[in-house]
């Protein structure tokens, strides 16, 4: 009987949450600014906001009083207050509320009047896929979801339908089921500006006959009307600004005359050999994995077969050649995709009289960065570089975006329906600038010095800033998770991983100790992160629950742009694996720059 009783006690469930006191730092700050009293007045709160939270002198006593009233109204559910001051618990509640005290701002604050090429642009890859790259359904739903998140570049692959009289969107040469182009365009119109007023760019991967190109032009015109940006000349000398292009739809693809020119020489083998020869450059004997507008995602960068050549996604021309493609279709293309014949050096040459877009696979960019880093930076000061995932990412995973950002690539294209820490980094970058989908590139990537010198991504740089991060505590899991989601018989054992995603020398991850059996863990641990390129640094935060026998359980994550962090003690909301916000899970953290 005694033995059975002990077993029963051993597995007694202990789920009741325990209220925790405010962290020591919070208590000390309250004591200091309340001047030893039990309540914090609006004027005392204003001093705290200016001196600790970095609010600046623009904060008035009336602003602080407004905060006090909002906190009391929400916390005590009353509209008329017996008092207009905060207790220690009220003050702690204020600090721990993302609604009142978020880690970054929510407003557009950067200059939006520079050309499009001066911005990182939130870019999707194969935006119509619901899942993997080989067999998932094509739909307008993932397009809608990405636009609602703030994505500004949508990619559509256009193919003739089975009867050749209409246009489908699908991932070619795979088992993906198609969706009609018209449905995708209507969804883009409906959701384009739900998250941001700044322009949406539609990149088209075009596998169409001239007749169907004319049909696409008609569909674009009828769907978007005056929203559609029509360039005044055949080629732009400079891209317009996001500000000038508010609420506009922009089309980017390869001009149709180039499509037909690639097919105009009879004798396929001869043409393939010419392209092979022209695409070899300083890297070695393999043809470059450079695509104009067509990714040819199913091919690897190391594949030297003719299928890896830049021959319009190696698609055979099945229609009779036409000397000129539909002029209306061509007139709608505002951002021309394409590259001159020859190696990468020539492809990256800047034309003073026109701007264009060039596409590189993630592997091709890595190769190019080895010997052409400054050429890429110089190219992206005026022209647009798009980077896309390698073809072996069949499961819609993603790559490290920092390589593209370091070289000024504006369109680092991601599988938004994917998963994982690289996608979290993408989400983090585009939380910048109010989440509008356009983030101004750092000045060092746009500057040109003596002797035409530009930033060298390989240069060794000194530490310019150190970010100090203190992880105080966490809360909300008992509200957003089931009691048995982590451990069956006891509260969870949480720990936090915190670190930097950025240029290679800045990248690092650290972690707190685990706190056993606590739904409201208190860590109070501090970390320092020296940064050589703080403009491109992201603070990555991930909470896990320690599991001795299996893989640790996921408890939430976020990625925040370091350049946008508000100093002081802040409430940091966490997100699930897909990047969707939890209702209640959050951390209390402090940020300081030295």
CA distance 237 to 217: 23
Runs of H (alpha helix) within 323-476: 327-331, 344-347, 362-380, 402-406, 421-429, 443-446
Beta-bridged to residue 169, according to DSSP, are 158, 179
CA distance 294 to 254: 9
Q: Among this protein's residues, is 39 annotated catalytic?
A: no
- Interior angle at CA 409, CA 408 and CA 411, nearest 5: 145
3-class state of residue 110 by DSSP: coil
Contact 556, 543 (CB under 8 A): yes
Active-site pick, 93, 125, 191, 422: 125
Sign of dihedral through CA atoms 511, 514, 520, 523? negative
Phi, psi of 443, deg, nearest 5: -55, -35
C-alpha distance from residue 480 to each of 17, 440, 517, 552 (Å): 13, 36, 17, 18
Q: Among this protein's residues, is 171 annotated catalytic?
A: yes
List of residues 6+ apart from 87 with CB closer than 8 A: 38, 39, 40
Contact 122, 430 (CB under 8 A): yes
Q: Which string of DSSP letters, residue by residue, matches 175-206?
A: -PBPEEHHHHHHHHHHHTTSS-SSPEEEEEEE
Active-site pick, 171, 294, 336, 372: 171
CA distance 266 to 59: 72
CA distance 76 to 65: 16
CA distance 259 to 338: 10
- Catalytic amino acids? 125, 171
């Amino acid at each position: 009987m005694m033995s059975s009783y002990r077993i029963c006690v051993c597995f007694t469930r202990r789920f009741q949450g325990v209220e925790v006191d405010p962290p020591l730092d919070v208590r000390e700050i309250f004591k200091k600014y309340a001047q030893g009293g039990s309540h914090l007045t609006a004027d005392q709160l204003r001093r705290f906001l200016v001196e600790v939270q970095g609010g600046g002198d623009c904060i008035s006593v009336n602003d602080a009083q407004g905060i006090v009233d909002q906190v009391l109204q929400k916390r005590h559910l009353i509209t008329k207050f017996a008092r207009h001051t905060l207790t220690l618990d009220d003050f702690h509640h204020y600090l721990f509320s993302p609604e009142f005290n978020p880690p970054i701002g929510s407003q557009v604050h950067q200059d939006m009047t520079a050309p499009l090429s001066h911005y990182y642009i939130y870019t999707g890859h194969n935006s119509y896929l619901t899942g993997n790259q080989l067999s998932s359904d094509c739909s307008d739903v993932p397009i809608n979801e990405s636009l609602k998140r703030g994505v500004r570049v949508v990619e559509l692959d256009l193919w003739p339908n089975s009867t050749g009289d209409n246009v489908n969107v699908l991932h070619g040469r795979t088992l993906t089921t198609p969706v009609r182009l018209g449905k995708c365009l209507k969804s883009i119109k409906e959701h384009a500006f739900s998250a941001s007023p700044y322009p949406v760019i539609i990149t088209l991967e075009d596998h169409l006959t001239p007749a169907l190109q004319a049909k696409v032009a008609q569909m674009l015109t009828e769907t978007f009307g005056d929203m559609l940006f029509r360039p005044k000349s055949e080629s732009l000398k400079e891209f317009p600004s996001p500000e000038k292009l508010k609420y506009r739809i922009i089309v980017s693809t390869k001009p149709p005359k180039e499509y037909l020119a690639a097919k105009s020489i009879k004798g396929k083998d001869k043409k393939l050999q010419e392209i092979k020869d022209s695409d070899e450059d300083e890297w070695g004997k393999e043809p470059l994995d450079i695509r104009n507008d067509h990714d040819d995602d199913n091919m690897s960068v190391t594949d030297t077969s003719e299928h890896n050549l830049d021959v319009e996604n190696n698609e055979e021309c099945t229609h009779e050649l036409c000397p000129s493609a539909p002029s209306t279709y061509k007139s709608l293309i505002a951002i021309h995709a394409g590259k001159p014949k020859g190696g990468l050096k020539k492809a990256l040459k800047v034309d003073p009289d026109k701007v264009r877009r060039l596409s590189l696979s993630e592997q091709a960019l890595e190769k190019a960065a080895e010997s052409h880093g400054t050429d890429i930076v110089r190219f992206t000061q005026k022209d647009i570089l798009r980077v896309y995932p390698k073809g072996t990412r069949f499961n819609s995973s993603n790559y490290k975006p920092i390589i593209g950002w370091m070289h000024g690539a504006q369109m680092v294209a991601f599988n938004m329906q994917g998963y994982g820490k690289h996608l979290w980094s993408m989400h983090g970058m585009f939380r910048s600038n109010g989440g509008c989908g356009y983030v101004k590139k750092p000045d060092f990537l746009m500057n040109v010095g003596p002797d035409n010198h530009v930033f060298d991504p390989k240069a060794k740089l000194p530490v310019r800033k150190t970010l100090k991060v203190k992880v105080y505590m966490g809360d909300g899991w008992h509200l957003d998770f089931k009691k048995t989601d982590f451990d069956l018989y006891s509260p969870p054992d949480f720990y936090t991983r915190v670190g930097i995603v950025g240029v290679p020398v800045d990248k690092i991850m650290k972690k707190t100790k685990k706190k056993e059996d606590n739904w409201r863990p208190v860590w109070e641990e501090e970390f320092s992160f020296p940064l050589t390129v703080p403009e491109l640094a992201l603070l990555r935060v991930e909470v896990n629950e320690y599991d001795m026998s299996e893989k640790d359980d996921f408890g939430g994550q976020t990625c925040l742009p370091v350049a946008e962090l508000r100093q002081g003690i802040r409430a940091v909301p966490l997100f699930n694996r897909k990047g969707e916000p939890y209702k209640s899970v959050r951390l209390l953290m402090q940020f300081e720059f030295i």
